[in-house]
Amino acid sequence: MMEKTTDPTKLRHWEGKIEAYWVYTSGKAGDYFFKRLKEEGKFTAAKCRKCGKVYFPPRIYCERDFEETEFIDVSGEGEVRSFTIARLDPYERELPKPQIYALIHIYGTDGSLIHLLGEVEPENVKIGMKVRPVLKPKEEREGRITDILYFKPA
């Protein structure tokens, strides 16, 4: 009596659309980070004045002892902690070229960033690989995470 189906359109169905629009601001520390990235191509981290923990992405206060932080410059270089290879885009369409998403530990900080790897073939990516950021030219930068094009092997 039961037929298996995975296609809802073969049965009685209703289609709808949820309207949604949102704006997400970067916050105080995020705003500073993106503006420095845009204007000077520099990476900012935040160091706790009390325990010395270095937050990356930067935070305005230390979550361990509630102390205020100070912004410090870091090189943006780091190493691959973890990675995955995406062959489909968010709409499940095949990508012309696979993309490599990596969790990159940023040197001089206690934090990491998820971003793309470039100038490297998927089969050559290794955990622990040293990488450095490649930025868009200054005139094209908008103060967004995509101002970093990708990280490439250092």
Tell me: does residue 6 bind other proteins (CB under 8 A).
Answer: no
Size of the site for other proteins (CB under 8 A): 34
Least distance CB 8 / other proteins (angstroms): 4
* Region of 11-19, 77-85, 113-121, 130-138 interacting with other proteins (CB under 8 A): 11-19
Does 8 bind other proteins (CB under 8 A)? Our answer is yes
Pick 61 or 150: Cβ nearer other proteins: 61
Nearer to other proteins, 4 or 97 (CB): 4
Task: Catalogue the long-range contacts made by 51-56 (C-beta closer than 8 Å, 24 or more residues apart).
Answer: 53/110, 54/108, 54/109, 54/110, 54/111, 55/109, 55/110, 55/111, 56/106, 56/109, 56/110, 56/111, 56/112, 56/113
Q: Rounded to whole angstroms, how far apart are CA atoms 133 and 43?
A: 10
Judged by CB under 8 A, does residue 15 bind other proteins?
A: yes
Query: How far is the C-alpha of 116 from the C-alpha of 149, rounded, in Å?
Result: 8
28 binds other proteins (CB under 8 A): yes
Residue in 61, 71, 101, 107 binding other proteins, rule: CB under 8 A: 61
Q: Which region, left, alpha or beta, applies to residue 75 given φ > 0 means left and ψ of -120 to 50 means alpha? A: alpha
> Should residue 25 be labelled a site residue for other proteins when binding is judged by CB under 8 A?
yes
Closest C-alpha to 136, from 58, 37, 57, 31: 37
Q: For other proteins, give the closer residue by CB, 18 or 52.
A: 18
Q: Candidates 11, 94, 128, 137: give the one binding other proteins (CB under 8 A).
A: 11
Between the CA of residue 153 and those of 15, 26, 55, 116, what are the distances in Å? 46, 28, 23, 12
Residues that bind other proteins (CB under 8 A): 1-3, 5, 8-9, 11-26, 28, 30-31, 34-35, 38, 60-61, 66, 68, 143-144
